[in-house]
Structure 1
Amino acid sequence: MSAPRFLDIEYCQTDDALFPVAMAWSLEDGQMKTVVIAPADEWLPEDGDLGDLDLLYLEEQGVPLIELIHELHQDLPDQTVYVDGLDPDEILVDLIFSAMNQEAPFEVAPITELITGMSSEMLEDRRRHLLFEEGLEPQLPEHGVYALLLMAQEEGLFDEH
């Protein structure tokens, strides 16, 4: 089976900071990977104010950027990876790779470039409806990717060979 690849990133945004904290992406077979991301020092605001984000948790449980980048190079080389188009996913991907002085091995594109038969509003309504129907948490990146996978499956975008 060959499925379109999807990606979703949970992030921290304050007045002084914007950086990824967790990420999920799908593989060719429709399986998913999810990681918590250990933040790069340069992402953290000088005043240390991250709202209600648990920095200690990220530092202890997070995957180092070099490992994350290695995995993304293995899983998504030369792919177009689709996102819901609502978050600054492209900026966040750039942050991850530029922190290690690398280029992303994949292109980021909005779901509207994959599912072209619906407007972005219709796609977002469908995504929200699926999240609700399936009892999914919209802020969890793996749930966001799962909803996009369901949408692609409904649209017949999985190759069965």
Structure 2
Amino acid sequence: MDYPGNLFVVAAPSGAGKSSLVKALMELDSAIQPAVSHTTRPPRGQEKHGREYFFLSPEEFDGMVKRDAFLEWAYVHGHRYGTSRHTIEERVAHGADVILEIDFQGAINIKQIFSNAVLIFILPPSWEELRSRLQRRGEDSAEVIELRLQNAAIEMAQAQKFDFVIINELFERAVFDLKT
């Protein structure tokens, strides 16, 4: 589909800094609109319904799947995440630039629907730094961190399928790279 607006799709392994980079970008460029995904996972920390995610029950999520309300959806780390078809199509059809944070599988699926979507993959500077970031977050058990690292290896192997790859070593530089 070809639209006057742009769809920027950002994916990264857990702990690479995707959400922090996107938040910093939107603070610099108010013209970019966030696309808020839906999820069945519970909120973390200060997350608010409708800001970081739309937090849904499994039954609500199932209903949206049955109504074909998602452009894409996937299981990630034991929870489901989905991107609203209507929201994305309406915004880019009206000329808005939209940024979407999703997993690598969702990004590849989005590219099949929106061929002009720009796929951006965020990498950590090293495997050791990724592990350290996940541990410093203090949100996950050692077992969950290991699962996230196993998934990260799979995700990072897909980086070549993206239009751009940014290494998030120096945060300000990575924000600049994302903006350009």
Length-normalised TM-score, structure 1: 0.35
Write 1 or 2 for the structure with the bigger share of helix. 2
Length-normalised TM-score, structure 2: 0.33
Write 1 or 2 for the structure with the bigger share of strand. 2
